[in-house]
Amino acid sequence: MTYPYDPQNVFAKILRGEIPCKKVYENDVALVFEDIHPQAPLHLLVIPKKPYNGFSHFMSQASQEEILGFFQAIEAVATQFSIHESGYRLVTNNGPHSGQEVPHLHFHLLAKKKMEPHFS
């Protein structure tokens, strides 16, 4: 399976420093910043620094260190924002059926409000 990557997507531009973001955390493999249209009081986007267009691409191509570091970034911001006990929602949209708009892997981290238990 091939996973073409569009280097002109908005998150690629953020990673190249061509457009700004409100960064809250980064490690060797991941960057975390605020979503520009927040759907919760805390709405962060966790993205890999390397070019993967979605979760399937990431899991088929990334190294174990990269995968571990990516999920460690999520854990780190959960600690940073003290949301382990109150909880948070993690969502990633992967491919056409999911409604993914930006073709660079991102996990949405939503928190600081009580969310409905269903998806549409």
C-beta of 69 vs 103, nearer to ligand AMP? 103
Closest CA to 40 of 86, 7, 75: 86
Choosing from 43, 57, 104, 106, which is the catalytic residue?
106
Name the token pair of 64. 């174990």
Q: Which residue among 85, 101, 117, 119 contacts ligand AMP (CB under 6 A)?
A: 101
Quote the CA–CA distance of 118 and 20 in Å, as a whole number.
Answer: 33
Name the token pair of 70. 């990516």
C-beta of 85 vs 116, nearer to ligand AMP? 116
Name the token pair of 5. 């990557």
**Please, what is the minimum distance in Å from the beta carbon of residue 64 to ligand AMP?**
25
C-beta of 54 vs 69, nearer to ligand AMP? 54
Active site residues: 106
